[in-house]
Structures are given as C-alpha cells and as structure tokens.
Amino acid sequence: MRGIPEVFDEVERGRADVGVVPIENSSEGVVNHTLDGLIDSELLICGEASLEIHHNLLSRAGELADVKRVFSHPQALAQCRGWLNRNLPDAEVVEMTSTSAAAEQAALDPSTAAIASELAGQLYRVPALRERIEDYANNVTRFLAIGRRAAGRTGRDKTSILFSIRDEVGTLHRILEPFASARLSLTKIESRPTRRRPWEYVFFVDFEGHRDDPVTQGVLAAVRERCLFLKVLGSYPVMA
C-alpha cells in the first residue's frame, strides 16, 4: 500500500487478513503514523519482526551531479540524512507517503532519485545509483503484524497496551506499580499526544506475558482501575 493508514484500512475492510506496519527504528525511534493507527483502530497486534533495513539511491541519472530532487518517506530520509548532506547538499528533498511511491516517481524523471529498497528498484525498473546509503550500518526496524484474530499463547509472549492517565503527580508511577509487583518486565514505554485536548497523552507499553495468563490478567485489572482508559492492543509471540 502507499502508506500506513491504507494498510490499516485494507485489513479493517477485510481485503487483507494481515497487515505489516513499522513501529520503530533503531536510529530514528518510533513511527508515529503507526501509533496513531493503533489508537484509532480495533485491529490487534498478532506478531512482530525486526529486520535490517538497507536503503539505495535509485535513479535513472548517470551521475550524482545530475540528481536535482530526492523522493522518499520521512523515516527513510531521516535514516539517510547525513549521506544526503554530504553527497547531495543542493538537491531538493521531497517527502512521499512510502518508499515505493518514491521509486515510482523516480522512474518517471532521470533528474530525480528515490531512497528505497533494492526490491523497489527492481519492481519499478530504476537502477541503484548508490547502494546502502543509510547513516548507520546497524539500521534495524521493528515491524508489527496487525489483524482481526488474536494470537494464542506460546509460553514466550509479549503484550502491548495503551492507556491514558489523570494529570496528577505520581499517577504514572501508580499505573506501573502492578507490573513491578508481579515481576512482569516492561520492554517499551512511549507517550503520544491524543490530539483531542492540549497536553493530554496516551502511553504505549510493551511487557512480557500473554493477556490470557492469570498473572497478566491480574495486572491488567489493577491497571484498569488506576487509569482513565485502557486498551489491550494484542498479545503475540516474542520474536526469536
């Protein structure tokens, strides 16, 4: 699909069984479009995967000096910011909804380039002018699989939730206290504005355990009593 919202929409409408969306990158952090989708959607997280991401500069231009504009998704542009500043300082940078849309654009005009994958270059028949231009060699993105069916217990699972809290001193500490008491390890915590009222936030938390585990059920019940709103986004196997 051309963007993350479209992936959510395809699965919600039943035109796809499962969608795959990026949630965070090792160098650029969280992907906010995915967080926003999880807030609004009733889909469940049913899996995860982490992949090394390599970016190529795709273009029909003969030389770097011939490239006048560079297209890509904001995350890919950010992951190659240093390379662009060193090698194409005068090129116009244009944000696109996806790296594949950028590759499609680069196929139309030899004075343009796209930051995208090797596969995108093959699909749109745009050669790689430069390979592996990401600023950090260990560039890893974590992806989530989203669908309508919950994943069963495997004995080595992770649960993702989101919640909102009152703007009071110590509230977040009280919300997280049940996890510590039950010795459930938190693997991620992230905040995001709700966009409903100024300075109102929701928190995203990943922790070890499955929502059907008795211990986890007790913790979620305690958290629900202490927050304004709690949504379980899904339980799924921990990636190997």
Entry pTM: 0.86
Judge whether residue 13 has pLDDT over 70. Answer: yes
Judge whether residue 225 has pLDDT over 90. Answer: yes
- Say what the pLDDT of residue 78 is: 95
Q: Measured in whole angstroms, how far is the alpha carbon of residue 161 from the centre of its chain? A: 15
pLDDT bin (cut points 50, 70, 90) of residue 227 is: very high
- What are phi and psi for residue 157, nearest 5 degrees? -125, 170
- Say what the pLDDT of residue 2 is: 78
Q: What is the pLDDT of residues 131-140, one digit of tens each?
A: 999 999 899 9
Mean pLDDT of the chain: 94
CA angle 202, 177, 165 (to 5 degrees): 25
CB-CB neighbours of 68 under 10 Å: 15
Please state, in angstroms and as integers, the Cα–Cα distance from residue 217 to each residue in 14, 144, 161, 224, following that order: 30, 23, 12, 10
Distance CA 93, CA 8 (A): 27
- Say what the pLDDT of residue 200 is: 76
- Residue 160 near residue 234 (C-beta atoms within 8 A): yes
CB-CB neighbours of 201 under 10 Å: 14
Active-site positions read 141, 143
Q: Residue 211 contacts by C-beta under 8 Å, 6 or more apart in sequence? A: 150, 159, 217, 220, 232, 234, 235
Q: Which among 76, 82, 85, 93 has a CA at the least distance from the CA of 28?
A: 76
Distance CA 112, CA 57 (A): 10
Q: Which among 215, 213, 218 has a CA at the least distance from the CA of 235?
A: 213
The token pair that represents 118 in the structure block: 């090797």
CA torsion sign, 122 to 70 to 95 to 108? negative
Q: Which among 42, 46, 51, 134 has a CA at the least distance from the CA of 87?
A: 134
Specify the range with the lowest mean pLDDT, choosing from 31-35, 65-69, 102-106, 116-120. Answer: 31-35
- Say what the pLDDT of residue 23 is: 95
- Say what the pLDDT of residue 56 is: 98
Q: How long a stretch of residues is the chain?
A: 240
Judge whether residue 240 has pLDDT over 70. Answer: no
Q: What is the pLDDT of residues 129-181, one digit of tens each?
A: 999 999 998 999 999 999 999 999 999 999 999 999 887 888 899 999 999 99
Query: With pLDDT > 90 as the criterion, what percentage of the chain qualifies?
Result: 85
Going along the chain from its start, the domains and CATH numbers come out as 56-138 (3.40.190.10), 151-240 (3.30.70.260)
Side by side, the strands of the sheet bearing 18-25 are 29-30, 18-25, 140-147, 44-52
- Say what the pLDDT of residue 239 is: 85
- Say what the pLDDT of residue 47 is: 97
Q: What is the pLDDT of residues 75-125, one digit of tens each?
A: 999 999 999 999 999 999 999 989 999 999 999 999 999 999 999 999 999
